[in-house]
Amino acid sequence: MLEKVGYKDGGGRDSNGVKYLIDLDDHEGTTAFSEACMSGDTECVEYFIEKQAHLDAACDKGKTALFRVAYNRMPEVVKMLLEAG
């Protein structure tokens, strides 16, 4: 899933203390979490939530993951995000 690296600002850590690059974004400001939400893969979305990804991160156009999935009518993922806070 996510590549294990030793990056000092990467977000969460797994049970072995390995940091993950959870909140890094691409050239448009879109995070892997937002892309996971758009994929509809609820297992992957749950993984990011458990690893404490920044749920309210917005891309350069101001769109959050919640906005994107609501706009694209993905009710299961919308529900997950709302329940996660």
Domain boundaries of the chain, sorted by first residue: 32-84
The CA distance from 6 to 46, in Å, is 23
**Which residues, other chains included, contact 31 with Cβ-Cβ below 8 Å and sequence gap of 6+?**
22, 23, 24, 25, 53, 54, 57, 59, 65
**Bigger pLDDT: 29 vs 4:** 29
**Cα–Cα distance, 35 to 22 (Å, whole number):** 12
Fold (CATH) for 32-84: 1.25.40
User: pLDDT tens-digit profile of 18-76?
Assistant: 556 678 788 898 998 999 999 999 999 999 999 888 899 999 999 999 999 999 999 99
- Cα dist. 32→73, 80, 81 in Å? 19, 16, 15
